[in-house]
Chains A and B, each alone.
Chain A
Amino acid sequence: MRVIVNTFGADIKLRQEIVLEPASASLRDVLSALREQYRAPLERFLNDDLSPREGAAVLVNGRNMWSLDKFATTIHEGDELTFTVMVAGG
């Protein structure tokens, strides 16, 4: 499975294409596989249980995982995963 990954924090990385082999297409399994090969950059965004750290959020195609099907959200080929700190305002 190919996913597009953005990280918005003290270091910003845009549109990184990453090929994974998750156990299933669920967000939980995709996050688990992603962290296996992308551990350091995701450290600041995810807790050990894969939930977002305090002050961080995980978006799937621009939607917060908590307003979708949470860890059961189905990830498709080419979907965009964004890991971000909770910026506020402009």
Chain B
Amino acid sequence: MKGVHGKLLEVDLTHGTTRELPIPEEHFRRYLGGRGLGARLLYDMLPAETDPMSPDNLLIFLTGPLTGSMATGSSKFVVITKSPVTHAWCDAYSSGRIAVQLKKAGYDGMVIRGRANHPCYLRIHERGADIRDAGHLWGKDSFATEAALREADDDPALGVSSIGPAGEKLVKIACINSDLYRQAGRGGVGAVMGSKRLKAIVIAGGHDAPLHDRKQVFGLNKENYQRALVSPVAQARMKYGTPLTLNITNTGGILPTKNFQFSTWEKALEKIDSVGVHRSVQKNVSCLSCFIHCGLITEAAEGKYKGVTVEGPEYETLGLFGSNLLIDSLPTIIQANVLCDMLGLDTISAGNIIGFLMECCERGLISSSKADGFDVRFGDDEGALAAIEMMAHRRGFGDILAAGVRAAAQHIGEGSDRFAMQVKGLEFPAYDPRGAFGSGLSYAVSPRGACHRRAWPPAKEILGNYPPYTAEGKAEMVCELYDVNCVLHSLLVCDMPGKFIPLSMEDYAKYLHAVTGESFSMDDFAEIAGRIETLIRLFNVREGFGRKDDTLPHRTLFEPLPDGPGKGQCIGEANLDRMLDEYYACRGWDSNGAPTKATLTKYDLAEDVANR
């Protein structure tokens, strides 16, 4: 098969060795790459019940078959591991030059195991990899680390991924940073990297993987670019980026406000929404291999943080550091974004946890002595920024928060778990499911915990014709959305351009044929998605997860929304149960969410269970 190399780089940091691992070509046909290949690898290579912070855990970086081909949106990579915050499957996606450079170095991915004796970084090239001393980098933030590594290598195309102090200190919401402002954010992948004492990965490849028909790839890009030029959705996205989503979620009543107590926030308008952010935009930027330049470089225009620059803030950061904390200062949110990026924290989890902390403080659940005198209330800009630093450095009460919102609620007690907004331990992204019940199902069944990437039900429930406040029809809808993104995340293309241009799955099949020379039908894609989601489910079942874990916080289930279009709505146990039953049936899983024998046979996975 063209477009892939058929091999992985395996790095053993305990023994300081590297070797190549072949990938059977059949894996690409059955799992494509990215998420799918990662499911196969993690299931096969990671023993059950491995401690996520132990040297035995695997940190897997993967590309997809389209990576490096210049197909639209194809400079993505995924980091796959067992999450230290959920103890379940974890896949965290990011853009970055590292994706293309890894492919150019001759690998489809790398599997990192073990733990180095001393801080180290990997320097990968076409001949393999060197494990180098990173003593001079340990303690530096992600920006400084990347700058130092780029200066040392003097190659502008270099791919660099690194962790900040949060990853070094094993903060369970730590991310992996690439190209300064791009993060593999969710699930604590940065903490796993830190547990291996791996500060950074630097890659400079040499040659593209051979493509089946490069001219056809460029022809498809040209055709799709012409479509984007006349697409109102693409035009809006190119101008306003993801902050436009805040106007939709605020209008539709799913914007997290005051730790998900409310669903709309009037004060967000023209301050931290698309209009407000647009006033601070310096320029638009693109990922490699993408003509939808939806990245925004913004600069704080006033106040204490005047002049601070970031790529972002993206919608999730605006929602969780803005309305969720009742902060309407864009400069403060820009500063929060920069701090999280530098220190290596996921902005979604960080904003969510600080919202939880603010509610605990306002309810008087944290005594001054328990929190070392720290008290932070909604709307407290400086308090929120201080909490970021406390978490990243595990200072004072930040050490409790660094374990994630579920663990923090367990520590605090007093019924605070009722408003700890998480699933399986992973903090909610910036959508309140009470205003779109399908989002609740999507969060509940997500194998990595509350996830906005596997499906985006607001497209159907706010912008589409699905009634939002009912369980009816949601299982099938979520299953279909999951399957589309499963294929995109296995090809490892950004799921955004496909929705703006728009591109159909047939369009992606054309790209895949142009790159690999292999033909995939829509039935093939459906079967592959079903196989991948079932194999990931098998991984989690093996780790002890089941229906009991596919649930939602008390607030989402039982506290009616006090405002917005969904005023009076909450999901309720009966609706969740119905959606779970129907979702499991769509997947061919039993009532506890375990894949049935018939389903395992359908996807040729029966042997995986028999062999365990």
Instruction: Point out residues on A near B: beta carbons under 8 Å.
Output: 6, 8-10, 12, 14-15, 44, 53, 55-57, 59, 61-64, 66-67, 80, 82, 84-90
B:536-581 near A, CB below 8 Å = 564-565
**CB < 8 Å neighbour of A57 from B242, B430, B464:** B464
A residues less than 8 Å from B242 (CB atoms):
89-90
A residues less than 8 Å from B378 (CB atoms):
none
- Closest B residue to A67 by CB, please name it: B467
**CB < 8 Å neighbour of A55 from B233, B275, B315:** B233
Quote the shortest CB–CB distance from B95 to chain A (angstroms).
Answer: 14
With A10-B239, A55-B502, A64-B462 as given contacts, are A90 and B452 in contact (CB-CB < 8 Å)?
A: yes
Q: A90–B236 Cα gap in the complex (Å)?
A: 14
B500 an interface residue at 8 Å Cβ cutoff?
yes
Sample (26) of A-B pairs whose CB atoms are under 8 Å apart: A6-B247, A8-B247, A9-B232, A10-B236, A15-B269, A53-B232, A55-B231, A56-B232, A59-B463, A62-B564, A62-B565, A64-B461, A64-B463, A64-B464, A66-B465, A84-B463, A86-B499, A88-B233, A88-B500, A89-B242, A89-B245, A89-B453, A90-B316, A90-B429, A90-B430, A90-B452
- Closest A residue to B315 by CB, please name it: A90
Are B232 and A87 in contact (CB-based, < 8 A)?
no
For chain B, the count of residues having a C-beta within 8 Å of the partner chain is 47
- Closest A residue to B263 by CB, please name it: A62
B residues less than 8 Å from A56 (CB atoms):
232
Q: Mark B459-474, 1 if CB is under 8 A from A, else 0.
A: 1011111111000000
B:269-285 near A, CB below 8 Å = 269-270, 274-275, 278
Quote the shortest CB–CB distance from A81 to chain B (angstroms).
Answer: 10
With A62-B252, A62-B565, A89-B456 as given contacts, are A12 and B233 in contact (CB-CB < 8 Å)?
A: no
B residues less than 8 Å from A82 (CB atoms):
251
B496 an interface residue at 8 Å Cβ cutoff?
yes
- Closest A residue to B464 by CB, please name it: A64
Which 8 residue pairs across A and B have the least CB separation, nearest first?
A90-B315, A62-B565, A66-B465, A88-B499, A10-B235, A67-B467, A90-B245, A85-B233
- Closest A residue to B564 by CB, please name it: A62
Quote the shortest CB–CB distance from A29 to chain B (angstroms).
Answer: 21
B244 an interface residue at 8 Å Cβ cutoff?
yes
Besides A57-B463, A63-B565, 6 more A-B contacts (Cβ < 8 Å) are: A62-B252, A64-B462, A67-B466, A86-B459, A87-B244, A88-B233
B240 an interface residue at 8 Å Cβ cutoff?
yes
Q: A12–B496 Cα gap in the complex (Å)?
A: 20
B346 an interface residue at 8 Å Cβ cutoff?
no
Instruction: Point out residues on B near A: beta carbons under 8 Å.
Output: 231-233, 235-237, 239-240, 242, 244-248, 251-253, 269-270, 274-275, 278, 314-316, 319, 429-430, 452-453, 456, 459, 461-468, 495-496, 499-500, 502, 564-565
Q: A57–B500 Cα gap in the complex (Å)?
A: 14
B residues less than 8 Å from A80 (CB atoms):
251
Quote the shortest CB–CB distance from B447 to chain A (angstroms).
Answer: 19
Are B233 and A87 in contact (CB-based, < 8 A)?
yes
- Closest B residue to A53 by CB, please name it: B232
B residues less than 8 Å from A10 (CB atoms):
232, 235-236, 239
B residues less than 8 Å from A84 (CB atoms):
247-248, 251, 463
B residues less than 8 Å from A59 (CB atoms):
251-252, 462-463
- Closest B residue to A56 by CB, please name it: B232
Are A61 and B233 in contact (CB-based, < 8 A)?
no
A residues less than 8 Å from B452 (CB atoms):
89-90
- Closest B residue to A10 by CB, please name it: B235
Are B236 and A87 in contact (CB-based, < 8 A)?
yes
Are B269 and A89 in contact (CB-based, < 8 A)?
no
A residues less than 8 Å from B467 (CB atoms):
67
Quote the shortest CB–CB distance from B582 to chain A (angstroms).
Answer: 19
Are A89 and B275 in contact (CB-based, < 8 A)?
no
Are A88 and B236 in contact (CB-based, < 8 A)?
no
Quote the shortest CB–CB distance from B74 to chain A (angstroms).
Answer: 17
